[in-house]
Homo-oligomer: A and B are copies of this chain.
Amino acid sequence: MNKQLILNERPKGMPDSNTWKLQESPIPDIKEGELLIQNHYISLDPAMRGWINDSKSYIEPVQLGDVMRAGAIGKVIQSKNSHFKVGQTVTGWSGVQQYTVSNGEGIYSVDDSQLPMQKFLGILGMPGMTAYFGILEVGKIREGDIVVVSGAAGAVGSVVGQIAKIKGCYVVGIAGGKKKCDYIVNELGFDTAIDYKSQNIFEAIKEACPKGLDVYFDNVGGEILEAALSRLKKHARIVICGAISQYNTIDDMKGPRNYMSLLVNRATMQGMVVMDYAEKYPMAMRDMAGWIIQGKLKSNESVYDGIENFQETFKRLFTGEKLGKLLLKVIEK
């Protein structure tokens, strides 16, 4: 049987036990041209919160009754498609389910002989690609830049900061709690960390960047975005990658009240969506794999077990109770 997570109801605010429901259905037979994937790990990302709103975005909303959209990694266990062989490791939009039937579209095989499978959903997957193109192509970092990143212990932020260090920047990470702040400084080599839970964010950014900042990579929005806007250097760049502090708000989102700092400082605020860079993923993956092998780029995965624990695990994205990339193991022994 195939356990699948179905979108049951669009949530107001934080998803709850009615948002999704688990269903079991027989594993379908595959037709000519198709393959059957057994999923091992599901990727949990803040962006998924947006996909279950019924509103126009960069991607179609998940429809009620459909399997919840998610990136996943697993193994081909049956194939009637000449491009895929049984035993291959593959990744793609397989959804929150244990088995996926696919015609191969949007499914990519990966070579996981050197690295654990999980890395291909994190540092070598969407979050890693987001970090790479966001900080290099949108942030346009140069050696010596002062770079500030929020969500700094997360799957994207942790990689953003490390790439900026590799490129010779001074890197300030913003994260919640001492454990995460210690991790990004001591383990990942950030220059300094700000604990937004215990520090005044406006004062802390001022202290960390007395001369202002060149690039702010935003994963969180809200007050932290305003604090960063208050410290822009001339011609600064703000990369809008996410706004996790606002995703579960029922009322209107908050806009940055001091956005006119963009004018004062001739600065740029630019949004990005990682899919736009798909053609360049292979180049980025080569760079990233090289840095990983050289020990310059580290990553952490927080892995939880059991498709039935999806909702509880998903919440950890917003409560901050995880370090690095959040994954759900859905394969059963």
A262 at the interface (CB under 8 A from B): yes
On chain B, the residues within 8 Å of A241 by CB distance are 263
**A58 close to B240 (CB less than 8 A):** no
| Copies of this chain in the oligomer | 2
Q: How far is the CA of A241 from the CA of B264 in the complex (A)?
A: 10
With A264-B57, A264-B58 given, is the CB distance from A259 to B255 under 8 Å?
yes
Chain A contact residue count (CB 8 A cutoff):
33
A258 at the interface (CB under 8 A from B): yes
On chain B, the residues within 8 Å of A226 by CB distance are 255
On chain B, the residues within 8 Å of A14 by CB distance are none
Q: How far is the CA of A56 from the CA of B264 in the complex (A)?
A: 9
**A58 close to B273 (CB less than 8 A):** no
**A267 close to B263 (CB less than 8 A):** no
A29 at the interface (CB under 8 A from B): no
A219 to chain B, nearest CB (A): 11
**B263 close to A273 (CB less than 8 A):** yes
**B257 close to A266 (CB less than 8 A):** no
Q: How far is the CA of A246 from the CA of B255 in the complex (A)?
A: 14
Which of A258, A263, A265, A268 has the most chain B CB atoms closer than 10 A to its own CB? A263
**B259 close to A257 (CB less than 8 A):** no
A265 to chain B, nearest CB (A): 7
**B262 close to A270 (CB less than 8 A):** yes
On chain B, the residues within 8 Å of A56 by CB distance are 264
A277 to chain B, nearest CB (A): 10
Residues of A within 8 A of B (CB): 56-58, 221, 226, 240-243, 246, 252-273, 276
The 3 closest A-B pairs by CB, nearest first: A255-B255, A263-B271, A262-B271
